[in-house]
A and B are shown apart, each in its own frame.
Chain A
Amino acid sequence: MSSLVTLDHIHKQHRLGNQTVHALSDVCLEINRGEFVAVVGPSGSGKSTLLSILGCLDRPSCGSYYLHDEDVFAQSKIRLSELRNRHIGIIFQDFNLLPRLTALENVALPLFYRREPMRNPTARARAVLEEVGLGTRMRHMPAQLSGGEQQRVAIARAIVNDPDLLLADEPTGALDTSTRDAILALLDVLQRAALTVVLVTHDPEVASYARRTIRLRDGAIIGDTGCRGAA
């Protein structure tokens, strides 16, 4: 069977002034459905670039990305939006909740952009918020919530459209240790419920939650613990 994600010789160059920076060079990667992958590496190693390509937020300079056997970057912008909407959920280090929307409205955001609208989007958003343990704080604004609660809202937002792939960019970077563990435990639960999770971190302790660790340095993969198991 083919894998959920296939990266085929991905290169990414950023132009900084007159200097060209190789953010990713020749990255080949397969991720199967249901995996929990940690991407680790020092800062500037290309982790976030990799994540933004996986999240269809950025295009590689060359190389191909197959999601569900669909050649992602051969698609139109509209189709890319739809892929982001239905197949991918992202959580960020600084949560990136919209400050003027309530927790519930933040969670319902991806439902708002669904091409075929859900019959009762509010009920769905409410159910997901309850799933992440925030059933009682739905009407709160992000500023009224603690960091851990905000990240739970962000996770609920990322999974509300039942994506295949959950991408997390340093999801616990802004949280204290106990909150961090609670968030990671939540991701673990979600992953066991057949969600594929890719987590970017530079914290080895966080990476230890994942069952497969990919090491990046200077834009290239220098180690992959799960390669044999997955193949």
Chain B
Amino acid sequence: MRSLSYVHLAFRSVRAHISRSILAVTGVVIGIAAVVIVVAVAEGARAEISRQINSLGSNLLLVQPGAQVAGGVRQPAGTVLSLTTADALAIAREVPDIVIAAPFVGEEKTTISGDLNWSTLVAGVTPKFFEARGWRVADGQLLNDDHVASAAKVVVIGRTVARELFKGSDPLGRFVRIERSSYLVIGVLAEKGQDFTGRDQDDVMFIPLSSAKIFTIGRSQVNPEAVHTILVKTESAQSMQAAETAIARVLRLRHKIVGRKADDFRIQNLIQVAQTSDRAYRQFTSLVSTLAGISLLVGGIGVMNIMLVSVTERINEIGVRLAFGARPQDIRRQFLLEAVLLCTIGGLLGLIVGYVCARAIPSALGWPIEFNGQMALIAIACSSLVGVVFGLLPAERAARSDPAALLRSGL
């Protein structure tokens, strides 16, 4: 009841000097707006990363051929075709905690349908690949084991390919030409969007691994069983580390790599790759966080300044309140509450300004943003905290003022 009256009192006091109050909290407004932007971008980045991780499939390890060293210079990864389908089988058989080991070959090809052509990634896979990534078809069906066993000329296409090659007409039952062979479209994959490198994950088509090797991608002369990648899915996120070590051991044994000799393959954790790809966000957020910190500091000093002026101006009011029974702590509470109210108003304004600015980020910088209720709480809490911290000194000064000055000035 009484504290309610104090809030009422603080409101009246702020309202009495409305323009001065707004000017005083400008720093807080900017600071809180910056906080809102940081949180929106960070939340957006987090949502984006988790979306990407979901689209990559969880608990995935990517085993790829290593780099060839020619004359002391490392060639690009994949220059040695060291991995084979047999390796994939061995990994699946010998490494514990592994759900799937899916071999993969892929090459950029020009594909043709009717009078349209489109250059895209043609990948040879087994049904296990879709299982590992958790991908589904939007229309039709996925590749199955029979397709692989019979080296069937069937293809499952991504959404982008469907759009580019068939221009809106139904691709199911139509044919796509890859090199000299025609493939029957049996499925269209559900839309995936971009991955963390910005690559369009829908710009791809999948054919059976066997068909790819016979008709399309072509066998390596050196190693006919070679694959470009083995996709490994582990039981859980916890088992990934152990699986990585075990895969390395199995492959080193199979490839007869002993002692200090370097691996002829490399193992990547996709989630780690995705998580390290957000550096731009982090630079931006740390920059804006610094801005938020400085603005809140400056804003707090502004509020402190205006509160000190207010205490001086209202020395008579304070004296009267003391003379009629206010305790020093009553005065302290009144002025502290006023500073907090001032900053909270600034915080609310900052929330609005920050919201408006953050809304412009996706189109200006191309980053996703995300808003939530927690953000409003953080903004209000931050601004109130600024009010408490920078209101303490003026409130203390008010509480210590000398009521006897009332009579002396009247003399």
* Chain A interface residues (CB < 8 Å from chain B): 43, 48-49, 51-52, 55, 57-58, 77-78, 81-82, 84-86, 89-90, 92-94, 96, 98, 100, 109-110, 112-114, 117, 157, 161, 169-170
Contact = CB atoms under 8 A, between A and B. Distances in A.
Contacts of A81: 322, 325-328, 330
Interface centre among A82, A113, A114, A161 (most CB of B within 10 A): A113
Contacts of A86: 325
Interface residues of B, number: 27
Interface centre among A49, A58, A112 (most CB of B within 10 A): A112
Contact of A98 (B317, B322, B411): B317
A84 B322 contact: yes
B12 A100 contact: yes
Interface stretch (B128-136, B187-195, B299-307, B400-408): B400-408
Nearest to B410: A93
A98 B328 CA distance: 18
B5 interface: yes
A229 B384 CA distance: 61
B320 interface: yes
Contacts of B407: 48-49, 51-52, 55, 57-58, 92, 169
Contact of A170 (B330, B403, B410): B410
B406 to A, nearest CB: 6
Interface in B321-342: 321-328, 330
A109 B327 contact: no
A89 B2 CA distance: 22
B324 A157 contact: yes
B314 to A, nearest CB: 9
Contacts of A117: 1-2
A58 B404 CA distance: 5
A139 B13 CA distance: 18
Contact of A48 (B12, B330, B411): B411
B325 A84 contact: yes
Contacts of A98: 317, 320
B406 A110 contact: no
Contacts of A114: 325
B324 A113 contact: yes
A227 to B, nearest CB: 25
Given A48-B410, A82-B325, 9 more contacts: A49-B407, A55-B407, A57-B404, A77-B327, A81-B325, A109-B321, A109-B324, A117-B2, A170-B410
Interface centre among B320, B323, B327, B404 (most CB of A within 10 A): B323
B364 interface: no
Contact of B406 (A57, A78, A161): A57
B325 A85 contact: yes
Contacts of B410: 48, 92-94, 169-170
B406 A96 contact: yes
Contacts of B326: 81, 113
A52 B13 CA distance: 28
A84 B320 contact: no
B16 interface: yes
A48 B407 CA distance: 6
B113 interface: no
A100 B325 contact: no
B310 interface: no
B401 to A, nearest CB: 11
A117 B4 CA distance: 14
A211 to B, nearest CB: 24
Contact of B321 (A94, A100, A113): A113
A43 B410 CA distance: 11
A84 B389 CA distance: 31
Nearest to B408: A48
A66 B155 CA distance: 104
Contacts of A157: 324
A169 B410 CA distance: 8
Contacts of B16: 100
B141 interface: no
**Which 6 pairs between the two chains have the least Cβ-Cβ distance?**
A85-B325, A58-B404, A113-B325, A110-B324, A81-B327, A57-B404
B316 interface: yes
A93 B16 CA distance: 26
Interface centre among B321, B325, B402, B404 (most CB of A within 10 A): B325
28 contacts: A43-B411, A48-B410, A48-B411, A52-B407, A55-B407, A57-B402, A57-B404, A57-B406, A77-B328, A78-B327, A81-B322, A81-B326, A81-B327, A84-B325, A89-B324, A90-B323, A92-B407, A96-B320, A98-B317, A100-B16, A109-B321, A112-B2, A113-B321, A113-B325, A114-B325, A117-B1, A157-B324, A161-B325
